[in-house]
Amino acid sequence: MGIDITCKSCNFEGKQCFSSRRELLDALRKYLVVHRQTHRIELDYVNWIYREEEDDEHRLEYISEEKKLEARKLLKEKELDGIFFYICLEEEDYISYFSAREFAKTYSKIRPFLTKDITDLYVLRHAVSEKHNLECW
Average pLDDT over all residues of the chain: 96
pLDDT tens, position by position, 2-19? 999 999 899 999 999 999
Delimit the domains of the chain by residue range. Answer: 2-136
In 3-state terms, what secondary structure has residue 66?
helix
pLDDT tens digits along 20-38: 999 999 999 999 999 999 9
* pTM recorded for the entire structure: 0.93
- Cα torsion angle, 55, 57, 58, 61, sign: positive
Write the CB contacts of 57 (distance below 8 Å, at least 6 apart in sequence).
none
Going by pLDDT thresholds of 50, 70 and 90, the confidence category of residue 87 is very high
Separation in Å, CA 67 to CA 39, 79, 92: 13, 18, 30
